[in-house]
Amino acid sequence: MKRLSISRLACAVVAAVAVLATAACGGDSEPTADGPVDLSTVTLKVGDQKAISIEVLLKASGQLENLPYKIEFSTFTAGPPLIEAAGAGGIDLAQVGNTPVIFGAAAKADIEIVGALSATGKGDAILVGKNSQVRAVAELKGKKVAVTKGSSANANLLLQLQKAGLGLGDVEPVYLAPADGYAALTRGDVEAWAVWDPYTAIAENEVGAKVIATADQAANGYNFWVASSKAVGDAGKSAAIRDFFTRYAAATKWSSDNLDLWSTKYAELTSIPVDASRITWTRSIKQPIPLDDKVVASEQEIADAFTKAGAIPGKIEFADFVDTRFEQK
């Protein structure tokens, strides 16, 4: 299979998911607190990330079959624009990392945090070039570091710097989308790049980038399901979201149980190297977990770190944006 550079991953994934059609099956209904809902009339708008490919996972695992409602997927480059789209009501549901939800809360986005997932955090890393002499985060002082603003990589960079006795003011953050960050690192325009899988795995695989720090050493590995407040307030969409979570959990279990098949399929559908795909899904499968007090407290710590660094306006209360009514029983 022809290997595509990371700068073409965005186009490759769009092309891949464009052929994955989803259709509704009529007549089924889902009970809610307000009575039965005719799901055949519901369209759930789900925001996807090119790097995560929720649609690809659901399709590969068979979880898009026999849907009682319709799903419309739209693809974004990273978590921050997903939060913006959900807040504006352009999408109903999205999965993002541990930081976009904090920036969304700080911006008072019209969103609800309705689910949580956990990963190892090992794929969320700070990378340097193959020939870089930098061996530790402390050695980044005074140097340029590429990162996507408001992403989980942003939190990883902040917390890793704090752990090394530094702050964001001690480096020169260069805020770039993932594909541009990869290009900046490979050209030598920046000394380091903070990013997440599969971009981490691709950079390691394609250009020999070296990891100097991973999020499991400083941050949590949480991801979150974010819904627009409008969708949460709609009985039909709420019922569809509950069903969607059940399907996603089943798809995640399938991917864990069939790692070789899943990583191969993911590589085919996203046109990234199989080796990078296998590395990604060995360390970055996201497992649904309860949206409990432990998760909320951990996120509050990250939010407070951004407040202290002056990276978000004022203090936020993460718990104010949490809605646990969609928890799987």
Helix and strand element counts for the chain (H, E) = 12, 13
Query: Exposed e or buried b for every residue in 70-79, given b needs 16+ CB within 10 A?
Result: bbebbbbbbb
Single-letter residue type at 204: E
- Residue 54, both tokens: 């929720």
Query: pTM for the full model?
Result: 0.85
Query: What is each CA distance from 144 to 176, 185, 201, in whole angstroms?
Result: 12, 10, 21
CATH superfamily of domain region 125-217:
Periplasmic binding protein-like II (3.40.190.10)
Tell me how crowded residue 36 is: count the other CB atoms within 10 A of its CB. 11
Render pLDDT for 297-310 as a digit per residue (tens, 0 to 9). Answer: 999 999 999 999 99
CATH superfamily of domain region 6-119+221-321:
Periplasmic binding protein-like II (3.40.190.10)
Nearest C-alpha neighbor of 250 from the set 198, 328, 323, 196: 328
Task: Concatenate the DSSP letters of all residues of 215-229 into one string.
Answer: GGGTS--EEEEEEEH
The answer to whether the beta carbons of residues 270 and 56 sit under 8 Å apart is: yes
- Residue 47, both tokens: 């925001």
| CATH fold match for the domains 6-119+221-321 and 125-217 | yes
Single-letter residue type at 257: D
User: Can you list the alpha helix ranges (DSSP code H) found in the chain?
Assistant: 9-18, 54-60, 79-87, 100-106, 152-163, 178-187, 199-207, 229-232, 235-257, 259-270, 274-283, 293-308
Render pLDDT for 97-113 as a digit per residue (tens, 0 to 9). Answer: 999 999 999 999 999 99
| pLDDT at residue 242 in the model | 96
Please tell me the distance from the alpha carbon of residue 127 to that of residue 190, in angstroms, as a whole number. Answer: 11
| pLDDT at residue 284 in the model | 84
Residue-by-residue pLDDT tens, the chain, 329 positions = 333 445 444 444 333 333 333 333 333 333 344 567 899 999 999 999 877 789 999 999 999 999 999 999 999 989 999 999 999 999 999 999 999 999 999 999 999 999 999 988 899 999 999 999 999 999 999 999 999 999 999 999 999 999 999 999 999 999 999 999 999 999 999 999 999 999 999 999 999 999 999 999 898 889 999 999 999 999 999 999 999 999 999 999 999 999 999 999 888 888 888 999 999 898 888 899 999 999 999 999 999 999 999 999 999 999 999 999 998 76
Tell me how crowded residue 317 is: count the other CB atoms within 10 A of its CB. 11
Residue whose token pair is 């098949």: 261
Q: Where are the domains of the chain?
A: 6-119+221-321, 125-217
> Would you tell me the crossing angle of helices 274-283 and 199-207 to the nearest 10 degrees?
140
| pLDDT at residue 200 in the model | 94
